[in-house]
Amino acid sequence: MQSTVLFVLDGQLVRLGFSPGGYPHVTTTLLQYLRSLPGHRGVKEGCAEGDCGACTVVLAEPDGDGGLRYRAVDSCLFFLPMIHGKQVITVENLRDPSGNLHGVQQAMVDEFGSQCGFCTPGVVMSLFALHKTLSAPKREQVVDAIAGNLCRCTGYRSIIDAGLGAVGSGAGDQFHADAGRIHDLLLSIPRDGLMIETGGRRYSRPSTIEEALDARRREPDAVVLCGATDTALRVTKNHEEIPSIIDLSGIAALRAQRRTDAAFFFGAAVTIQEVMDTAEKGIPSLAGMLAVFGSRQIRNIATIGGNVGTASPIGDTLPVLVALGAEIELTGSHGVRRLPVEEMLTGYRRTACRSDELITGVSIPRIPSDITVRAYKVSRRADLDISTVSAAFRVRVDGDGTVDGAILAFGGMAEKVRRARSTEEFLQGRPWTRETVDKAMAGLSDEFRPLCDVRGSASFRAAVARNLLLKFWAETAGANGQRAVASAEGVHG
């Protein structure tokens, strides 16, 4: 274990030590650290919760093929020790050595994409990351890239035009020319675990599952995180002092993905964006839900294991994982065990994970061609919003048109994600018709007692839940009662 964080900034290796009573602390965010430096104040704090994108920076890491992978992140959700082994790129780094603007910056100037300028650095960094990934992005890809960036001055047309028109901003920029040196510099950073103590706080980032389990045994009350998009808000918004953190993001084994003929497996530290990229090729119902999970900056930090571990009753992945029959892999001192997602969730933000266990993966079985799965999310905004009600439905209909198995999973309707089991039993063996669904909708109202809050009243949530079931039927059976399913799985509607 080492106590020094090493990363690349301004093209140079930085060694950052933490003194017991000094600054920074282990829960200092990357945003706060950059703002403390005289040459990196282009990054701004707007909301401090990942909503506005004014704090967007780009991180680069070796991609495993000799190159670098670039991703935009909200620096307000990134604890400082989490940058160990990464290159940090801010808007100040984009000019080339001759002082010329980067292609993305020049496009913003040419298209009049900035007025007040407060959010412009974050917008530029989001577009920069996009162009380092795609040399000629399409309009929908540009829109997705800036969905997490707020701009109330110019509107988005000029910004989208800048994203589409940026030239010389991918393979032809100074970062491409310097990529080999940065790649080797990053690989020179030891991948040993981190152990930092400062200001009465302890941060542990083990490099193996065994080290993580040892840390868990030593500090059973420590906060275990893998992504920090939820935990960071406890610091930035609630001003909590978290005494001890165990960060699983440095464990290479937890970033693995595997595909077999039977299932998809995602390590707990696989980011939501990486899960989404894989799901687009084989689990469209999950991919559709993740497309509205949050902005790309958030999806590049959040992980599937972290989302399951928070056990939020409005967690976007949970209803669809239940409908897909996913299992959670738990590793502890007594070995590995697997639980269905619905058994994993035991109450409000509570799971069946024991004090000596860690979530190490999620396994999602491949869905047979005669089963239909679709997922839905209802929220006040189309992008970057918390669910009011979410749902995922799974149904198998026999050749004679009768239901042979159904799963109806809802988020936002109870203290945890729950199945409507009585309604599922009612549907079994009945014809998949509008008449059956109308009766099921009536019974559905008796299964939940949702809360009233700022996102919706109990009666509104109940009505939404009923209507989502009707929507599912309409999309999978059609008004005439005949099945009209184009594929085994539907996407988010």
184 with 136, same domain: the answer is no
The whole-angstrom separation of Cα 141 and Cα 134 is: 9
Tell me which of 250, 283, 308 is where a domain ends: 250
Q: Where does residue 470 rank: exposed (0-12), middle (13-18), buried (19+ CB within 10 A)? A: middle
Tell me which of 233, 250, 267 is where a domain ends: 250
157 with 223, same domain: the answer is no
467 with 390, same domain: the answer is yes
314 found inside a domain:
no
Question: What is the mean pLDDT, run by run of 10 residues, along the chain of 493 residues?
Answer: 92 92 89 95 94 97 94 97 97 94 95 93 97 93 95 90 86 90 96 89 95 95 94 93 95 96 97 97 96 94 96 94 98 96 96 96 96 95 89 96 97 96 98 96 91 89 96 80 38 40
278 found inside a domain:
no
291 found inside a domain:
no
Query: The tokens of 151 are what?
Result: 């701009």
210 with 105, same domain: the answer is no
Query: The tokens of 485 are what?
Result: 């399913």
Identify the domain containing residue 28 by its residue range. 5-92+180-250
- Secondary structure of residue 147 in the 3-state scheme: coil
15 with 158, same domain: the answer is no
- Secondary structure of residue 174 in the 3-state scheme: helix
Q: Model pTM?
A: 0.93
Decide if 373 contacts 379 (C-beta within 8 A): no
Q: What pLDDT does 491 receive?
A: 39
> Above pLDDT 70, what percent of the chain?
97
20 with 35, same domain: the answer is yes
154 found inside a domain:
yes
CATH number for 149: 1.10.150.120
220 found inside a domain:
yes
Query: The tokens of 311 are what?
Result: 């056990």
- Secondary structure of residue 149 in the 3-state scheme: coil
Q: What pLDDT does 478 receive?
A: 60
- Secondary structure of residue 72 in the 3-state scheme: strand
Q: Pick from 335, 339, 310, 128: which is nearest to 229 by CA?
A: 310
Query: The tokens of 60 are what?
Result: 């680069």
The whole-angstrom separation of Cα 437 and Cα 430 is: 10
> How many helices (H) does the chain have, and how many strands (E)?
18, 20
State the Cα angle at 338 between 333 and 339, rounded to 5°.
120
81 with 113, same domain: the answer is no
Decide if 416 contacts 321 (C-beta within 8 A): no
Q: What pLDDT does 445 receive?
A: 85
25 with 160, same domain: the answer is no
Q: What pLDDT does 44 receive?
A: 95
Phi, psi angle pair for 119, to nearest 5°: -90, -10
88 with 102, same domain: the answer is no
The whole-angstrom separation of Cα 179 and Cα 345 is: 44
What is the CB neighbour count within 10 angstroms for residue 217? Answer: 12
84 with 101, same domain: the answer is no
Counting the structural domains of the chain, the total is: 3
Q: What pLDDT does 152 receive?
A: 81
State the Cα angle at 23 between 22 and 24, rounded to 5°.
135
Residue at 453: amino acid letter:
D
- Secondary structure of residue 129 in the 3-state scheme: helix
CATH number for 404: 3.30.390.50
